[in-house]
Amino acid sequence: MPITIKIPTPLRKFTADKDAVQVEAATVGEALRALDGRHPGLWQKLVDGDGADAKVKRFINVYAGEDDIRFLDGLATAVADGAEIAIIPAIAGGG
Amino acid sequence: MPSFQDHLSSVKSSVREVQPEAVRDRIAAKAPMVLVDVRERDEMENGFVPTAHLLGRGHLEARIGKVAPESDAPITLYCAGGVRSALAAWTLQQMGYTNVESMAGGFGRWAQHGLPVETRKSLTKEQIARYSRHILMPEVGEEGQLKLLAAKVLLVGAGGLGSPAALYLAAAGVGTLGIVDADTVDLSNLQRQVLHTEDRVGTPKVDSARKTLSGINSDIKINTYETRVDSSNVMELFAQYDIIVDGCDNFPTRYLVNDACFFLKKVNVHGSIFRFDGQVTVFRPGVGPCYRCLYPEPPPPGMAPSCAEAGVLGILPGIVGVAQAIETVKIVLGIGHTLEGRLLTFDALQMKFRELRTRRDPTCPLCGPNPTVTGLIDYEQFCSMER
């Protein structure tokens, strides 16, 4: 079973308007890599750095299930088959 | 047929009377006494004897057991002049209460003698009618409605989110509503900002808000501030309120509202929208996470376009703003589970709500154990930095 990555509205212009992308991965980092493979440029939009110290940008939250991966193992957070990863950007509108 | 006078004198001869001064002394000495006011509700509006249970005469027999479960409990009844309390005392004796007395001269003599009077705001007849659907529910009741009427809630922004939130909070009887917004009504606002109307285009939003809200509920106080919240005015403004409802439209103000709420220990009911997406949560300073725990940094300029640039479904703020109003009312009433520790996201296109966990960040520069933000900062600069 693949991993489902939920794409928020502001990023759908980079995923050909798809609101979810399915990838094969064992960690959140691998999933975002696979997403970037499918839709090049997304890694840079979401992540600072490239190597082992790569971190999700601080104005974007990535959730594995219900939990923010910043409070788990970051990009190394393991994801099981069928898991859902949600990318939640800060939004400020209200007017 | 026995006359009322005959009945009353027979009742009075079998009911012990006590002078107001003796009751006062017992209250002062905290002597055991179940003091019961048997007057009608509207008679209590000018005050009552401290410590009295306001049971009224009508349901006395049904309600006395709650305040006096033992049949030998020392019960003292009073009314306005001493007649109804004597009759009520006689009735309680018939029920089997053995230690009942009636206060001579009632509340009238009590007040005349200059004895201490307590006033508790009770709902007026009109309020009871207006809020009857609230009062019917035990989770709110009259006590809850009084809490709502005593609550002071500030809405930051009278726009997309502030409009529906304000309409419902006013209707619900939140007693003091503050509204801060520097803008004037624009035609492009009417697609979603349901507080405002065509004939108010060009007039200050806060004035328009006041007109609409006082038309819905003239029973509440509406304070308006035609200004932009900034570091110079936020502390003084927020200090006057219990709960802050954040419906602003930009990142600098989001961080400003968050920090000011943290420093003043005010609950921040957060809502934000973008195109078809909404987010709602509650930040309770020092207890749950804050906005900086959730989003440590704002997106760089250009990364997060505003609704003015990217558009927003006009109905979306209805869902999000009303969710903020519900959370606000729950917080005032102290009922249910708020969104503290949870981020509710809403996707209007999929019509899906989703719940994500939020946590206090041990590295939070504001509410973490080693804070670096210890006062208000320059928020425009904070949000315009390229990182």
Q: Are residues B63 and B156 in the same domain?
A: no
For residues B1-21, give the mean pLDDT. Answer: 91
Q: Are residues B169 and B42 in the same domain?
A: no
Q: Which of B386, B240, B227 is nearest to B301 (CA)?
A: B386
pLDDT of residue B13: 92
CA B323 to mean position of chain CA atoms: 16
Rg of chain A in Å (alpha carbons): 12
Whether residue B201 lies inside any domain: the answer is yes
Q: Are residues B30 and B86 in the same domain?
A: yes
Q: Are residues B106 and B166 in the same domain?
A: no
Domain-terminating residue out of B72, B101, B120? B120
* Cβ <8 Å between B275 and A70: no
Contact present, B344 and B353 (Cβ < 8 Å): yes
Name the residue with tokens 């509650």. Answer: B282
Q: Are residues B195 and B329 in the same domain?
A: yes
Name the residue with tokens 């990023």. Answer: A11
pLDDT of residue B116: 93
pLDDT of residue B297: 93
**Chain A neighbors of B363, CB-CB under 8 A:** none
Q: What are the two backbone dihedrals, phi and then psi, of residue B247, each rounded to the nearest 5 degrees? A: -125, 35
For residues B36-51, give the mean pLDDT. Answer: 89
Superfamily of domain A3-89: Beta-grasp domain (3.10.20.30)
Name the residue with tokens 């190394």. Answer: A76
Contacts of B333 (CB under 8 A, 6+ apart): B139, B140, B144, B147, B148
Whether residue B286 lies inside any domain: the answer is yes
Residue spans of the domains in chain A: they are: 3-89
For residues B262-289, give the mean pLDDT. Answer: 96
pLDDT of residue B46: 81
Chain A interface, mutation test: which of B245, B279, B280, B386, most A Cβ atoms within 10 Å?
A: B279
Name the residue with tokens 């920090």. Answer: B259
- Look up the CATH number of the domain holding residue B200: 3.40.50.720
- A80 pLDDT exceeds 80? yes
ipTM of the complex: 0.93
* Cβ <8 Å between A59 and B298: yes
* Cβ <8 Å between A88 and B357: no
- Check if B246 contacts A (Cβ < 8 Å): yes
For residues B261-287, give the mean pLDDT. Answer: 96
Q: In chain B, which among 283-312 make CB contacts under 8 A with chain A?
A: 294-300, 303-308, 310, 312
Which residues constitute the domain of residue B176? 151-357
- B386 pLDDT exceeds 80? no
Q: Are residues B93 and B160 in the same domain?
A: no
- B387 pLDDT exceeds 70? no
Please state, rounded to an integer, the average pLDDT across all residues of chain B. 94
pLDDT of residue A77: 96
Whether residue B375 lies inside any domain: the answer is no
Q: Are residues B174 and B318 in the same domain?
A: yes
Whether residue B136 lies inside any domain: the answer is no
* Cα separation, B28 vs B162, whole angstroms: 49
Q: Are residues B97 and B156 in the same domain?
A: no
Count of domains in chain B? Answer: 2
- B70 pLDDT exceeds 70? yes
Whether residue B65 lies inside any domain: the answer is yes
- Check if B319 contacts A (Cβ < 8 Å): no
- A69 pLDDT exceeds 80? yes
* Cα separation, B46 vs B42, whole angstroms: 8
Q: Locate B219 and state its tokens.
A: 């029973």
In this predicted model, what pLDDT tens digit does every residue of B148-199 receive, in sequence order? 999 999 999 999 999 999 999 999 999 999 999 999 999 999 999 999 999 9
- Check if A12 contacts B (Cβ < 8 Å): no
Report the Cα–Cα distance between both ends of chain B, in Å, rounded: 95
Q: Are residues B266 and B167 in the same domain?
A: yes
In this predicted model, what pLDDT tens digit does every residue of B198-236 receive, in sequence order? 999 999 999 999 999 999 999 999 999 999 999 999 999
- Check if A18 contacts B (Cβ < 8 Å): no
**Chain A neighbors of B275, CB-CB under 8 A:** 9-10
Q: Are residues B192 and B318 in the same domain?
A: yes
Percent of chain B predicted with pLDDT > 90: 87
Whether residue B382 lies inside any domain: the answer is no
Q: Are residues B297 and B200 in the same domain?
A: yes
Q: Are residues B193 and B323 in the same domain?
A: yes
- For residue B65, the SS3 value is helix
Task: Quote the pTM value.
Answer: 0.79
- B127 pLDDT exceeds 90? yes
